[in-house]
Amino acid sequence: MANVRLIELTKHYKRGSEIIRALDGVTLDIERGEFVAVVGRSGSGKTTLLDLLGLLLKPTAGSLFIDDIDTSQLGDRQRAQMRARRVGFVFQEYNLLSGMNVLENVMLPLRYVKDGKASGKQRALELIERVGLTDRIKHRTTELSGGQMQRVAIARSMVNQPSLILLDEPTGAVDTETAQQLVDLLKRLNSEDQVTIVLVTHDLDLAGQARRQIKLKDGKVLTDEWLPEKELLPA
């Protein structure tokens, strides 16, 4: 069974007498360990798809399975628990807490998992080392560069050992060189941890570094193709 399975997944909104078809019957399987880029123009359904995968929205129709669990059968509390345990998020604007240092920010998701803080501190320290920020561990976010803040966000997204990581324009706020470093880091973590990554981006160069690219248009899948594997740069 696929790590993520969408069956005729649909999200419609009503605006007056008009029906907005934000996502319109998308069927996909995403296997564990895939690195998938979702592209398309504004209004194509990318953000809606990401919000549905992250259990932030409920679909109008269709089914979404994550790790063989039919999320349409879950109540709000169960959805929140599943989101905390199985899904990691990385956003363009980092969404870090300025009053906390690097370690505290990475450990933040552990608060939402029973006994998470006690068992997760060592993993947080290991992740900070893996993203190359051990020497910044006590620094607050205001003392970090944009690229460093995004590395913190990536480590934070993985601290609960999710099976799925969702990224919304993760390199949009950094320069080209830093963006490439972040992509190389994501590819390395994807390869080493076999975590499934779904990346939403307008940047076709960034999307071209994924192994699979899904293009949306008007809420539907326009194309779904595998890309040639690119060599991973050394750390």
- Chain segment 190-203, per-residue pLDDT in tens: 999 999 999 999 88
Environment class of 21 (CB within 10 Å of its CB; exposed 0-12, middle 13-18, buried 19+)? middle
**Could you tell me the pTM of the whole model?**
0.92
CA distances from 167 to 19, 47, 91, 122 (A): 28, 10, 6, 24
Mean pLDDT over 74-90 rounds to 94
Report the alpha-carbon distance of residue 144 to residue 102 in Å, rounded: 9
Does pLDDT of 230 surpass 70?
A: no
pLDDT over 60 at 232, yes or no: no
Rounded CA gap, 90 and 82, in Å? 17
pLDDT tens sequence across 39-65 = 999 999 999 999 999 999 999 999 999
pLDDT of residue 46: 96
Tell me the pLDDT of the chain averaged across its residues. 92
Residue type, 90: V
